[in-house]
């Protein structure tokens, strides 16, 4: 059996920076309890690994319960709204910001347009951790949409409008949505369109650039095993891309979900995952399959 791991899978650079920072803090702050505000990334296996090193997950409601003098709280990769930083200051909590640089830049973009009076339209999921942070930097005065129907129901075409995206959404849908919104404004503003409507493609390029590579990888194997956390936004999107390219693609969060014996009928298996799927877990799956089907061959 041929078993390959997708070379384009694994942590994006933002997640790598976040995990590296957390591991460094765990080493440097051995005399303090290190907390993370919410799941560090949307992958339970990586969260479990870091928990074994001492990282504990809390919510903002826990700020008043922890020992401020002997604690450090990490802001995770998805970022947080300004109110979180304010609450931390009020509670004398030491914060260490591990927000993905791309998300941090996106927050600054939203804040800039908001301060200039633009209508903010965000393509994303209303209650996703990253979007909660974006909503926070503009006092929740924005529209969060997932379809053109959402836009038509909520948008005010009498205001200057900027369309941005949650970093983990899919580019084709975003581009289609942008075209549809542009057409709405074009009917009203014609040659002055660019003064009233702007699109900012803020989708993570690591995710969007993976799409064609993932399609090619999926087509090269009889079976594709997509490994990701079930609450990973980009995991759901990338899985759908892989499944469309190869309908014989299965999604798992835990290796134990697999019925290993039933995989013997395949001559080639591809292993891939989300930008929050750790390389070590995909390698663990490969080792299990190699030992089961190729040992001694």
Rg (CA), the chain: 22
Supply φ then ψ for residue 36, to 5 degrees. -125, 140
Distance CA 285, CA 273 (A): 12
Decide if 52 is catalytic. no
User: Which of the following is catalytic: 46, 130, 211, 253?
Assistant: 130
Catalytic center residues: 130
């Amino acid at each position: 059996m041929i078993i390959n791991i997708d070379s384009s899978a694994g942590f994006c650079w933002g997640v790598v920076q976040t995990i590296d920072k957390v591991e460094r803090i765990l080493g440097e702050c051995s005399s303090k309890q290190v907390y993370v505000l919410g799941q560090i990334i949307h992958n339970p296996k990586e969260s479990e690994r870091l928990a074994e090193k001492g990282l504990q997950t809390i919510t903002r409601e826990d700020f008043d319960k922890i020992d401020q003098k002997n604690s450090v709280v990490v802001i995770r990769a998805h970022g947080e709204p300004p109110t979180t930083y304010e609450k931390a200051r009020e509670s004398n909590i030491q914060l260490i910001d591990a927000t993905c640089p791309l998300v941090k830049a996106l927050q600054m973009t939203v804040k800039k347009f908001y301060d200039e009076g633009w209508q903010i339209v965000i393509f994303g999921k209303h209650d996703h951790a990253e979007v909660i942070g974006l909503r926070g930097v503009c006092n929740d005065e924005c529209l969060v949409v997932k379809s053109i129907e959402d836009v038509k129901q909520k948008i005010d075409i009498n205001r200057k409008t900027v369309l941005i995206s949650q970093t983990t959404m899919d580019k084709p849908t975003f581009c289609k949505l942008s075209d549809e919104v542009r057409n709405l404004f074009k009917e009203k503003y014609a040659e002055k369109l660019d003064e009233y409507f702007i699109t900012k493609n803020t989708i993570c390029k690591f995710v969007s650039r993976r799409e064609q590579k993932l399609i090619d990888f999926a087509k090269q194997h009889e079976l594709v095993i997509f490994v990701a956390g079930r609450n990973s936004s980009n995991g759901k999107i990338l899985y759908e891309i892989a499944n469309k390219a190869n309908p014989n693609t299965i999604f798992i969060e835990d290796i134990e979900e697999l019925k290993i014996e039933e995989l013997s009928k395949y001559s080639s298996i591809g292993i891939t995952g989300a930008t929050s799927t750790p390389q070590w877990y995909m390698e663990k799956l490969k080792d299990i399959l190699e030992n089961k089907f190729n040992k001694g061959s």
